[in-house]
């Protein structure tokens, strides 16, 4: 995490585009995580109660 933060700060200071940890990367990671959750029947049942 520290390296991602340092990279982000460097990009802000220099105007370079973000190469690692982009918002697209975050989106794809969350899509994967929710896919895993959705594959769990117990999780789906609990979500249906909300």
Give CA angle at 44 (39, 45), nearest 5°.
Answer: 140
The pLDDT, as a whole number, for residue 15 is 96
Using CA atoms, how far apart are residues 39 and 6, in angstroms rounded to an integer? Answer: 35
The pLDDT, as a whole number, for residue 23 is 85
pLDDT band at 49 (very low <50, low <70, confident <90, very high): confident
Mean pLDDT of 33-47: 89
Helices (H), 1-50: 2-14, 23-38, 41-49
Using CA atoms, how far apart are residues 31 and 25, in angstroms rounded to an integer? Answer: 10
pLDDT band at 39 (very low <50, low <70, confident <90, very high): very high
pLDDT in tens, 2-31: 888 898 899 999 999 988 778 888 899 999
The pLDDT, as a whole number, for residue 5 is 87
């Amino acid at each position: 995490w520290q390296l991602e933060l340092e990279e982000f700060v460097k990009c802000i200071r220099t105007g370079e585009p973000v190469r690692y940890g982009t918002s697209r990367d975050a989106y794809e990671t969350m899509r994967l995580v929710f896919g895993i959750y959705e594959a769990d029947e117990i999780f789906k049942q609990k979500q249906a109660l909300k």
